[in-house]
Amino acid sequence: MKNGFADSIRRTFAIARNTVLEAIRNRAFLGMGIAAFGLVVSSIALSSLAVRDQAERVLVDFGLAATSLMEIVIAITMGVILVFKEIDRKTFYLVLPKPIRRSEVIAGKFVGLLGVLGASLLLMAAGWLISLQVKGISIPAGVPQALLLVWAQAALITSVAIFFSSFASPVLSGVFTFGVFMVGSSVTVLQELMQARKGMLATPGPARLIAEGAVAVFPDLSVFNVGKELILRIPVTWEYVGASMLYCGFYCLFFLAIGALVFQRRDFS
């Protein structure tokens, strides 16, 4: 039993290692990495155009927002492209001489992409922090927590991308994953509209029913956004980060489990 579990872990990490290598060789990832670093550093130029007392706000807010956005772009693109390539070419059968369970393919892809997201995040964070130092702005105390939450959000979106890639084409997988991201980013807004006194979502009807379903099913991605806290220098506690990570882990397991189940039943003949 122990040997079987150890072999499963070994196969999973072999898939993960192969995923990282595939991402490094992929031109799309390299292009996005360069664009991401340039986007973050360009915040220096934007801060120069801002009102003098707003330069710090621009650098902190834009830098974190740009980092978060590019992590999402990488998560969706790499999650869709790399999984499809493995399925299309059936290369996961060649990674190890022994047969590989399809659930191990899903888990390995996810773990590998987590490493890819971590590496890209470190690159963008370096550009962001350098830009703050260049402008003489002290680094907010909550930066490590904010970056960890950015990574957690990207991890959640990666699990969504892998789920859709288990049964849909790359284009549809990308569209569906982006849709989940957009709805998840709007959950807080939907809740506010439903609590309002007036409006389409304030009264019973089909629109409110759909909104209630979206709030109940889709992850609330606002929990990973602490840009306002950084700007106002409000501490971001590690307890909050831990709770957010658990929230992320629950949804990741949910989407990966369903993806593995669908992938297991898929016919590759």
Q: Tell me what pLDDT residue 1 has.
A: 46
Task: Give the Cα separation of 190 and 34 in Å (integer).
Answer: 35
| From 92-101, 200-209, 216-225, 252-261, the region with the lowest mean pLDDT | 92-101
Q: Tell me what pLDDT residue 113 has.
A: 92
| From 31-35, 186-190, 248-252, 262-266, the region with the lowest mean pLDDT | 31-35
Residues comprising the chain, all counted: 269
* Higher per-residue pLDDT: 101 or 242: 242
Q: Tell me what pLDDT residue 169 has.
A: 85
Task: Give the Cα separation of 145 and 223 in Å (integer).
Answer: 12
pLDDT digits (tens, 9 = 90+) for 12-35: 888 888 888 877 777 666 666 676
Average pLDDT on 186-197 reads 82
Q: Tell me what pLDDT residue 207 has.
A: 78
Place of tokens 């122990």: 2
Q: Tell me what pLDDT residue 215 has.
A: 83
Provide CB contacts within 8 A for 49, sequence distance 6+.
none
Task: Give the Cα separation of 137 and 134 in Å (integer).
Answer: 8
Q: What is the mean pLDDT of the chain?
A: 81
Q: Tell me what pLDDT residue 218 has.
A: 92
Average pLDDT on 138-152 reads 90
pLDDT digits (tens, 9 = 90+) for 59-94: 787 788 888 988 999 899 888 887 777 666 666 566
pLDDT at 168 over 60: yes
How would you write the chain as a 3-class SS string? CHHHHHHHHHHHHHHHHHHHHHHHHCHHHHHHHHHHHHHHHCHHHHHHHCCHHHHHHHHHHHHHHHHHHHHHHHHHHHHHHHHHHHHHHCHHHCCCCCCCCHHHHHHHHHHHHHHHHHHHHHHHHHHHHHHHHHCCCCCCCCHHHHHHHHHHHHHHHHHHHHHHHCCCCHHHHHHHHHHHHHHHHCHHHHHHHHHCCCCCCCCCCHHHHHHHHHHHHCCCHHHHCCHHHHHCCCCCCHHHHHHHHHHHHHHHHHHHHHHHHHHHHCCCC
Average pLDDT on 206-222 reads 86
Q: Tell me what pLDDT residue 37 has.
A: 65
Average pLDDT on 46-52 reads 55
Band of residue 41 on the pLDDT scale cut at 50, 70, 90: low
pTM of the model: 0.87
Q: Tell me what pLDDT residue 110 has.
A: 93
Q: Tell me what pLDDT residue 173 has.
A: 92
* % residues pLDDT > 70 (the chain): 80
Average pLDDT on 33-50 reads 62
